[in-house]
């Protein structure tokens, strides 16, 4: 099993098409690449952590005033699950990995 994994790893390392694709996916080393990673991974977590209750209250009032009660309950439930006030360490970790990859 280890030999199979080692062989697969060597094939992937030496595959020029894969390396070219990875270079295309890599964010640019510029302020826009940095801001893109920060705005996509870190800012939503900060907003969720500090403003979850306000977002849930606002969404609840909007849902019940604009939609039927059944649909409003579903919207409020989804909003409460999305904005729970806790940090997603997966998103933060992924953001740090992309920042590391950006400046590697």
64/81 Cα distance (integer angstroms): 17
Give the tens place of pLDDT for each residue, 39-88.
999 999 999 999 999 999 999 999 999 999 999 999 999 999 989 988 88
Domains of the chain: total: 1
pLDDT at 30: 84
Q: Which domain holds residue 37?
A: 30-103
| CB 42, CB 99: distance < 8 Å | no
In a domain, 36, yes or no: yes
Q: Taking 90 as the threshold, does the pLDDT of residue 25 lie above it?
A: no
pTM for the structure as a whole: 0.65
In a domain, 4, yes or no: no
Q: Which residues contact 34 (CB under 8 A, 6 or more apart)?
A: 99, 102
Q: Which two three-digit tokens encode residue 75?
A: 């919207």
In a domain, 61, yes or no: yes
Residue 101, CB-side half-sphere exposure with 13 Å CA sphere: 15
Give the tens place of pLDDT for each residue, 87-102.
889 999 999 998 998 8
Q: Which two three-digit tokens encode residue 83?
A: 């904005």
Distance of CA 91 to the CA centre of its chain: 5
Q: Taking 80 as the threshold, does the pLDDT of residue 27 lie above it?
A: no
């Amino acid at each position: 099993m280890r030999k199979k994994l080692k062989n697969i790893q060597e094939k992937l390392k030496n595959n020029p098409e894969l390396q070219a694709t990875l270079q295309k996916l890599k964010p640019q080393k510029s302020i826009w690449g940095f801001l893109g990673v920060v705005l996509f991974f870190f800012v939503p977590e900060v907003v969720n952590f500090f403003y979850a209750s306000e977002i849930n209250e606002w969404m609840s009032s909007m849902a019940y005033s604009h939609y039927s009660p059944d649909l409003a309950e579903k919207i409020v439930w989804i909003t409460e699950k999305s904005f729970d006030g806790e940090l997603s360490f997966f998103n933060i970790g992924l953001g740090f990995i992309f920042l590391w990859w950006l400046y590697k």
